[in-house]
Amino acid sequence: MLLNIKGVLNVPGTKLDLDFEVSKERLDEVKHVVFASPVKVTGSIENHAGVVIMDMQIAFSLLVTCDRCLKETVQDFSYHEEHTVVRRLESEDEEENYVIAQAEGIDAEEIALTDLLLELPTKMLCREDCKGLCPVCGCDRNEVDCGHEA
């Protein structure tokens, strides 16, 4: 989803509201992640005295397998992201700190997907206090106290 932000880039005080869902085609490109809901993005791109800020709230649900007990569960996630949008960089060292508006446009879906993938936890749990599986008998310690020492 390429957004034309020419007006926001050129006129201080202007604002473009964001309210979209990342396309199913884009979500299908993401491997090893199963989306249980659409990825909803809201927010704005606003020019504050010549500094253009992209402010986004990204909300979605994933079907995850708990890394401790192996149960599948649906978990909701919500992230707040903020980026400074520029037309070009003075040096390539600054690239990770800014969103570059190519031809006065940005790919809002790509930015949202990149942000959410970077924010996902490395370990997925069904709940914070998940006890996992017993290494001796394999039972789910959340449901049964098998008596084995871990």
In a domain, 148, yes or no: no
Q: Into how many domains does the chain fold?
A: 1
The pLDDT of residue 93 is: 64
The pLDDT of residue 102 is: 81
In a domain, 35, yes or no: yes
In a domain, 109, yes or no: yes
In a domain, 6, yes or no: yes
In a domain, 97, yes or no: yes
Burial class (CB in 10 A: 0-12, 13-18, 19+), 137: exposed
- pTM for this predicted structure: 0.85
pLDDT mean by block of 10 residues, the chain; 150 residues: 84 93 93 94 93 95 96 96 86 72 88 93 93 93 87
In a domain, 63, yes or no: yes
The pLDDT of residue 136 is: 92
Which secondary structure element, helix H or strand E, spans residue 27, and what is its range? Answer: helix 24-28
Per DSSP bridges, beta strands 72-86 and 98-100 are parallel
DSSP annotation of 113 reads: H
In a domain, 69, yes or no: yes
CA 10, distance to chain mean position in Å, is: 28
Burial class (CB in 10 A: 0-12, 13-18, 19+), 32: exposed
Segments forming the whole domain that contains residue 63: 2-119
In a domain, 138, yes or no: no
Count CA atoms within 13 Å of residue 45 on its CB side: 26
The pLDDT of residue 45 is: 94
